[in-house]
Homo-oligomer: A and B are copies of this chain.
Amino acid sequence: MSAIAVKEVKERVIADNDAVAEEVKAGLKEKKVFFVNLMASPGAGKTTTLVRTIEALKDRYKVGVMEADVDSVVDAETVAKTGAKVIQLHTGGSCHMDADMTKRGLEALDCDGLDIVFLENVGNLVCPAEFDVGASKRVMILSVPEGDDKPLKYPLMFTVSDCLLINKTDTAEIFDFDMDRLQKNVKALNPDMPVIPVSSLKGDGFDAWIAWLEKEVCAWQK
């Protein structure tokens, strides 16, 4: 029996996703809650990245997490061990979160008193990119084993994101992943996006990632 709170947020037909996203954003701005939409393929390391990120932040910020999945509570159980406030969202089969689902998730999480909320979106490089969920910033993770050609095949995700983490750099030696080629492919789509190599398992690169995040949180809260 799991102690994780689960909220069903099955997709509804909402005429104007962007209007709901703006509403979400305004509500969080008023509460000074910085909201990160974290997106990646299945298995890119979203949960491991979140756990290490929360460990790095938790002495200075109150952190909340919404874990979105089609099914299961495995990620929420993992994240709950950090002490962060966690809720599991089930999307009812949907391959992405939209603004309305996010709004209901945030209400169920209850953001009062939180400084930062992370949404771990459904593992998918296509549809999550199409939906503004009202996040302060969109962060994408690409993992080394997935390959450096992914910007060519999933261009929208790389275009709409505000920061790109390249995860599992500790495995770079055994995969044919060319960081220069990746950077070139990314720059063609999103020239100003920071690209930060990390190993969420080992902690490499986390100083740069946490520095970027804190700078953005600080700018948001002003």
Q: Mark A148-161, 1 if CB is under 8 A from B, else 0.
A: 01101111100000
> Residues of B contacting A174 with CB < 8 Å?
170-171, 174
Does A138 interact with chain B (Cβ within 8 Å)?
no
A161 vs chain B, min Cβ distance (A): 15
A123 vs chain B, min Cβ distance (A): 7
- Asked if residues B41 and A153 are in contact (CB atoms below 8 Å), the reply is no
Stretch at the interface among A2-10, A53-61, A103-111, A125-133: A125-133
Q: Mark A162-188, 1 if CB is under 8 A from B, else 0.
A: 000000101100110000000000000
Q: Which of B72, B95, B154 contacts A127 (CB 8 A)?
A: B95
A-B contact pairs, 6 of them (CB 8 A): A41-B41, A69-B153, A70-B155, A71-B155, A145-B145, A145-B171
Apart from A42-B125, A72-B153, list 14 A-B contacts with CB within 8 A. A41-B42, A42-B153, A42-B154, A43-B145, A43-B147, A70-B126, A71-B153, A93-B126, A93-B130, A95-B95, A95-B124, A123-B153, A123-B154, A174-B174
* With A143-B145, A145-B143, A174-B174 as contacts: A123 and B41 at CB distance below 8 Å: yes
Residue positions of A touching B, CB distance < 8 A: 41-43, 69-72, 74-75, 93-95, 122-127, 130, 143, 145-147, 149-150, 152-156, 168, 170-171, 174-175
> Residues of B contacting A150 with CB < 8 Å?
42-43
